[in-house]
Amino acid sequence: MSDDTTTTEAETEAAPTDEQRDALVERFREALGDAVVDAEVLPGKDVWIRIATDAWAESAEVARNRLGARYFGFLSVIDWMPSPFGRSMDSEVDRVLAGESAPEPPAMEQGVTGGSTRFQVLARVAHVGHPGDFWGVTLKADVPDDSLTVDSWVRTYAGADWHEREAWEMFGVSFAGHPGLRHLYLPGDFEGFPLRKDFPLLARQVKPWPGIVDVEPMPGEGDSDEDGEGAES
Amino acid sequence: MTAITDRQKLQYIAAQAADARVNVELEAEGMTLNIGPQHPATHGTLRIVARLDGEQVIAAEPIPGYMHRGYEKLTEVRTYAQVTALVNRIDWLGSFANEVPFILAAEQLMGVEAPPRAQWIRTLLFEMARISNLILFLGDMAVQLGAVTPAFFAFRDREYVLDQIERVTGGRFHPNFDRIGGLKDDLPQGWLADTKATMDKVRAFCDEIENLLMGAEIFQARTRGVGVIPPDVAQQYGLSGANARASGIDWDLRRDQPNGMVYPELDWKVWTHPDGDSFARFWVRLQETREAANIVEQCCDGVPGGPIMAKVPRIIKVPAGEAYVSTENPLGEMGYYVVSKGDLTPFRVKIRSASFNNVSIAPWILRGVYVPDIITILASLYFILGDIDR
Amino acid sequence: MSGAVLGIQMAYWQETLLKLGVGLAAVLLLTGGAVYLYLFKFVSFMQSRLGPMEAGPYGSLQLLAEVGKWLQKEDIFTENADRFIFGLAPAIVLSSTFLMFVVIPAGPSAVIADLGTGIYYVLAMSSLSVLGILMAGWASANKYALLGGLRAAGQLIAYELPLVLAVIGVVIQAGSLNLQDIVAAQSTGSIFGWDGIGSPYILTQFVAFGIFMIAVQAELTQTPFDMPIAESELVAGYQVEYTGIRFLVYFISEFATAVGFAAVASTLFLGGWALPASWGLSNGVMHVVGPLMISTKAILLVGVVFWARFSLPRFREDQLQTLAWKFMIPIALVNIVVTAVLKVAF
C-alpha cells in the first residue's frame, strides 16, 4: 500500500510486457512484411506500428483475423501541420514565455514512428482474451497528400463506420470502400474541415484566450522555477 | 444580407423537396418515424430515424451531432490544466471519471506519478462517479420501460453520493478536481466515515431496485432476449464496459490495465453475464454498482497518509510525445490519445468515448425489433449524449 | 320510474335535471378526490416525495390550480390537423365517460336511468371512447399520435372481450342484467345459509373479478397497459398534440373513467351501494349511506388501479395481445362454463 510497493510492482510488470510488445511487433512484421514501416515500443506502456498506406486495409485484416485483435477501439486522423494561427492564446505572459516574437509556425514534424505526409490516420485495436490476456496497439499510416484517401476498415471492423465518417467530415480524408461517407455531426451543408489545423477557431480569433495568467498556485507551493511570471498573476 | 436570405430560401426549398421525397418513399414501404432529437427516450438530443412496417423496424439509424461541442478542437487552445474543465462535460453523470484518463495521459508523457494518497483518492472518487452514473441508469431503465417510481428512488439516492462528491470537490456534477501529479485538495475531515455510511444507502438502493424490477415478470418479458449482442459483434463495434461484459466478454480495464489507480490492491470482482441481452446489461450494471460500493469502502479503509501532490512545475509544459491512456469509465472504455509538441497546450487530443462506439451498433441491433424495443435496447446500451457527441 | 325523489313530487324534467346535476357533481367530485388522493399524494409517498404542499392544506387545492392552468393555456391546432375531428375527439371520449355513470346506482333510487340491460349499456358506452381515441390519433396529423391511436384501438378491442366475459359470470349468478337487481342479489344472498354479510360476488366470482380489474386497467390505458400513451416511446400517443382545455378533457375523462369502472366493479363484485339485507337498515337510511358506500368502494378500487400503475413496467404491444387472447379470454370462458354448471346444479 505504501509508495515503494506500487513502484516495485510496476517494475516487475514492466519487463515481461515489454517482451510481449516486441514480440507483437515481430508478429506484425511477419504477417505484413515490408508494409511495417516503423514501430516503437514504450516499455510497459504502449506500442505504435506505422503501416505503409497501401497495406492499411490489410493491416486491419491481419490484426483482427490473424493476431486476434478483435476489439476495435477507435480510428482517427492527425493533422501534423503546425497551426498557422499560433496557439491563439497570445496573452502578455504567454508571449513572454513563447519568446516575445509573433508566432512563427515551426516546420511540420510527425510524432511517434515518424511519417512524411500532413495527415496520418491512426487506429487503436486490442486483443481481449481470457482475464488478464489483453494487449492494445496503435496502428498508423500516412495519408497521401495528393489524393487524401486511404482504404476503409469497415469491411474488417464494422465499428469503424462512424469513426471514418467522423474523420472524413472533420479532416476531409476519404476512405475508399466505405459504404456511405455522410456527415455525422455537422449539418449537411457545412463547408470546411473543422479539425484541420488551418480551420480557424473563430472564438479565439475574436478574443484571444487569456492564457495562463489565471493559473492558480499549487497547494503548499510558494516558489518554483517559473516564479517570476507567477508573481504577476 | 440578401445573399444569406436567398441562400436560406434555397435551403428551405431543398429541405422541402427532400421531405417530399421521403414522403413518396413512405407511401411505398411503411412509415418513417423520426424519434428525436427531442424525445424523452434519448437522454438528450439523439435522433433516430426508423423506417417502420407497422410496429416493426425495418431499418433504424441514429443521427448524433445535436450536441457536438468540438472538444477535440477546443483542447488545442487550452492548457493542460484547463482541459479537465472541458472534458468534465463529456459524460456529465460521472464527470470525475472523464478527467482521470486525460490526466493520466499527461502524467505518462511527463513521467510524473501521483503520490499514493492521491492515487487512492482518485480511485475512490472514480468509483463514486461510477456509482452516481449507474444509479441513474438503474432508475432510468425502469422509466423507459414504463415504471416511473424507481427513477425517483434513483434521484433520491444519487443525491447522497453527489453530496459526498460535493463535499470533497466543491462541485456536484463537475468536480474539476484532478490535477497533473495529484489532486486539487485533500479530503475534508470526517468524510471517509460519512462516505462509508453512504455506501450502505447505495446498497440498499440496489436491493430495492432488484426487488422492484428484476423479479417483475413484465420487466423480464420486456428485457430478456431483447437486443442480443453476440460477443464477436460487440468487439467489432468496439462495445466496452458493461455492454461488453453483458455479452460474456470478461474484460475490465480496471483489472487488465490499472495504470495510475490502486485496483490491484483491492478485493473486487468483474461481473459478466453470458446472455448479451438487455436484461444482462441491466444485471451487470446492477452488480457493478454494488461492486463499486465495495471498492469505495475498501478505499475508505485503505487511504494512506502523505502528500496529495507530486512535485510538478508551476507552469506545465508537457514534453513532446504521444500517449493513449484509457480507463474503465462508467459507460465503458474512455481514452484520450494525446499528442504533445512540448507546448503549453496539447497538439491534438483524440477523445475515444465509450458511448460513441456503444451507439454505433444501433443500426445493426435495431433491425427487425418492435418500436417499444428500440427504447428498451437504447436504454440498456446506456449512452450519454455528451459522450457520443463530445 | 317513480316521479318522487326523497318523497318530493317533481315533474319529469325537473327530476332528470336534478339527477343529472347531482350525478355530474358527484362524478367530478369523486374524480377530483381520486386525482388528489392518488395521483398527487399517494403516488408522492410511494416515490418518497411530498407531492403538492403549498396550495391549500396539504396541497388539497392543487387540482384547482392545475385546472386553472390548463384553462388559461392556448388551444393549439396543428397545421395539418383535421380541425373538426381533432376538436370533436375529446368530446366523444368525455361523453363516453359520463354516459357510463347514467346507470350506476348509488342508492335505492339514486340512479339516473334504471335500465333493464344496465351492465351492457355501461360496457357499450365505455367502448365508445375507442372512437374518440382513434379520431384523435388520426386527426392530429402526427405519426406518434397515429401509432398511439392504433395501439389504443387494438388494445381496447382486445380487452373489451375479457371485460364482457368476466361480467357474464356475475350476470349468470344474479340472473339479471340490471345493476339494481345485481346489487339486490348480493345484498339478500347468503353464503351456505349464513347471511351476515350477504353474498358479495367477489367470493364466488373471484376469477371474474381478477379478469375484470386487469381488463379495466387495460381499458383505462394505465400502466402496465399504457402503450397508447407510453410517454417514453410515443411521448403521449394520441394526446401528443392536445393542449389546454382539450388536454384537460382527456385528463378528466381518464380519471373519471377510472372512477366509473371502479364503481361498476364495486357494484358487480363488492355489493354496490347496499349493505347486507340482514342488517335490516331501512331504505331511508340507505338513501344517505348508499352513496357513501359506493363512493368509498369505488375510491378504494381506484387506489388499486393507481397502485398497479405506479409499480409496474409496461408490456409490449404483442405481449399485451398475447395476455388477452391466450390467457384472459380462455380463463374467462372457463369461468362462465363453471358458473353456469354450478348455477344449474344448485
Q: Residues B106-150: pLDDT tens digits? A: 888 888 888 888 889 989 999 999 999 999 888 888 888 888 888
B118 by Cβ neighbours in 10 Å (0-12 / 13-18 / 19+) ranks as buried
Is C154 contained in some domain? yes
Domain count, chain C: 1
A196 in reach of chain B (CB within 8 A): no
pLDDT at B267: 87
pLDDT tens per residue across span A38-48: 888 877 778 88
Chains that touch C (3 or more CB pairs under 8 A): B
Q: Does the beta-carbon distance from A158 to B233 stay under 8 Å?
A: yes
A136 CB neighbours in chain B (<8 A) are: 324
B251 in reach of chain A (CB within 8 A): yes
pLDDT at A213: 52
Q: Does the beta-carbon distance from C230 to B146 stay under 8 Å?
A: yes
Q: Which amino acid is at B330?
A: P
Q: Which amino acid is at C191?
A: I
Higher pLDDT, B10 or C199: C199
B152 CB neighbours in chain C (<8 A) are: 47-49
Q: Which residues contact B111 (CB under 8 A, 6 or more apart)?
A: B319
B47 in reach of chain A (CB within 8 A): no
In this prediction, residue A94 has a pLDDT band, given cuts at 50, 70 and 90, of low
Q: Does the beta-carbon distance from B255 to A132 stay under 8 Å?
A: yes
Q: Does the beta-carbon distance from A134 to B344 stay under 8 Å?
A: no
Q: Which residue of B has its CA nearest to C224?
A: B146
The dihedrals phi and psi of C9, each to the nearest 5 degrees, come to -75, 130
In this prediction, residue A62 has a pLDDT band, given cuts at 50, 70 and 90, of confident
Residue of B51, B28, B22, B25 lying closest to B374 (CA atoms): B51
Nearest to B235 among A124, A128, A136 (CB): A128
Q: Best interface-test mutation with B: which of C48, C79, C227, C312 has the largest number of B CBs within 10 A?
A: C312
Q: Which residue of A has its CA nearest to B80?
A: A212
What is the rounded average pLDDT of the residues B283-306?
Answer: 90
CA dist., res. B385 & res. B354, Å (int): 11
Joined together, the cell numbers standing for residue C131 give 372512437
Q: Does the beta-carbon distance from A78 to B339 stay under 8 Å?
A: yes
In this prediction, residue A2 has a pLDDT band, given cuts at 50, 70 and 90, of very low
B361 CB neighbours in chain A (<8 A) are: 159
C49 in reach of chain B (CB within 8 A): yes
- Alpha-helical (H) ranges within C10-117 are 12-34, 43-46, 62-72, 83-100
Measured in angstroms, the CA of C346 and the nearest CA of chain B are apart by 39
What is the rounded average pLDDT of the residues B197-214?
Answer: 88
- Structural domain boundaries enclosing C321: 11-345
Is C3 contained in some domain? no
Is C328 contained in some domain? yes
pLDDT at C59: 80
Q: In chain A, positions 133-152, which contact chain B (CB-CB < 8 Å)?
A: 134, 136, 138
In angstroms, the Cα distances linking C300 to C38, C226, C262, C263, C266 are 10, 21, 8, 10, 9
| Helical axes C206-219 vs C329-345, angle rounded to 10° | 150
Chains that touch A (3 or more CB pairs under 8 A): B
Measured in angstroms, the CA of B372 and the nearest CA of chain C are apart by 6
Residue of C93, C92, C83, C121 lying closest to C105 (CA atoms): C121
C6 by Cβ neighbours in 10 Å (0-12 / 13-18 / 19+) ranks as exposed
pLDDT tens per residue across span B224-239: 888 888 888 888 888 8
B264 in reach of chain A (CB within 8 A): yes
Measured in angstroms, the CA of A150 and the nearest CA of chain B are apart by 19
Q: Are residues C247 and C70 in contact, defined by beta-carbon separation less than 8 angstroms?
A: yes
A193 in reach of chain B (CB within 8 A): no
Domain over A13-214 is classified CATH 3.20.20.20: no
C233 CB neighbours in chain B (<8 A) are: 41, 371-372, 374-375
The dihedrals phi and psi of C57, each to the nearest 5 degrees, come to -60, 125
Measured in angstroms, the CA of A33 and the nearest CA of chain B are apart by 25
Angle at A221 between CA A217 and CA A224, to 5 degrees: 90
C343 in reach of chain B (CB within 8 A): no
Least confident of A79-88, B31-40, B173-182, B300-309: A79-88
Nearest to B65 among A161, A184, A219 (CB): A184
Is C81 contained in some domain? yes
Q: Does the beta-carbon distance from B72 to A79 stay under 8 Å?
A: no
pLDDT at A233: 37
In this prediction, residue A222 has a pLDDT band, given cuts at 50, 70 and 90, of low
B75 CB neighbours in chain A (<8 A) are: none
A2 CB neighbours in chain B (<8 A) are: 116, 304
C320 in reach of chain B (CB within 8 A): no
Q: Does the beta-carbon distance from B152 to C47 stay under 8 Å?
A: yes
C147 CB neighbours in chain B (<8 A) are: 33, 55, 371
Evaluate if residue B42 carries a pLDDT over 70: no
B39 CB neighbours in chain C (<8 A) are: 235
pLDDT tens per residue across span B61-83: 888 888 888 888 888 888 888 88
Q: Does the beta-carbon distance from C316 to B370 stay under 8 Å?
A: yes
**Second CATH level (architecture) for the domain B79-355:** Orthogonal Bundle (1.10)
Measured in angstroms, the CA of C329 and the nearest CA of chain B are apart by 19
Omega before C224 within 30 of 0, i.e. cis: yes
Q: Does the beta-carbon distance from C313 to B33 stay under 8 Å?
A: no
pLDDT at A146: 86
In this prediction, residue A225 has a pLDDT band, given cuts at 50, 70 and 90, of very low
CA dist., res. A127 & res. A134, Å (int): 5
Measured in angstroms, the CA of B51 and the nearest CA of chain A are apart by 18
Residue of A144, A143, A138 lying closest to A122 (CA atoms): A138
The ipTM of this complex is 0.81
Q: Where are the domains of chain B?
A: 1-27, 79-355
Q: Are residues C244 and C73 in contact, defined by beta-carbon separation less than 8 angstroms?
A: yes
C145 CB neighbours in chain B (<8 A) are: none
pLDDT at A5: 40
CA dist., res. B332 & res. B133, Å (int): 12
Which H/E stretch holds residue C214?
helix C206-219
Nearest to A195 among B73, B236, B304 (CB): B73
B324 in reach of chain A (CB within 8 A): yes
Evaluate if residue B25 carries a pLDDT over 50: no
Residue of C40, C316, C268 lying closest to B375 (CA atoms): C316
In chain B, % of residues over pLDDT 90: 9
pLDDT at C6: 55
Number of B:C CB contacts under 8 A? 81
A/C Cβ contact: 3+ pairs below 8 Å: no
pLDDT at B284: 92
Nearest to A215 among B11, B81, B108 (CB): B81
CA dist., res. B153 & res. B142, Å (int): 11
Is C5 contained in some domain? no
Is C130 contained in some domain? yes
Average pLDDT taken over every residue of chain B = 84
B/A Cβ contact: 3+ pairs below 8 Å: yes
Nearest to B222 among C48, C144, C316 (CB): C316
> What are the residue ranges in chain C where pLDDT is below 70?
1-8
In this prediction, residue B289 has a pLDDT band, given cuts at 50, 70 and 90, of very high
Is C1 contained in some domain? no
The cell 515490408 sits on which residue?
A34
pLDDT tens per residue across span B150-192: 888 888 888 899 998 998 888 888 888 888 888 888 888 888 8
Q: Does the beta-carbon distance from A212 to B315 stay under 8 Å?
A: yes
In angstroms, the Cα distances linking B374 to B52, B379, B387 are 11, 8, 20
Evaluate if residue B197 carries a pLDDT over 80: yes
pLDDT at C221: 83
Is C102 contained in some domain? yes
C/B Cβ contact: 3+ pairs below 8 Å: yes
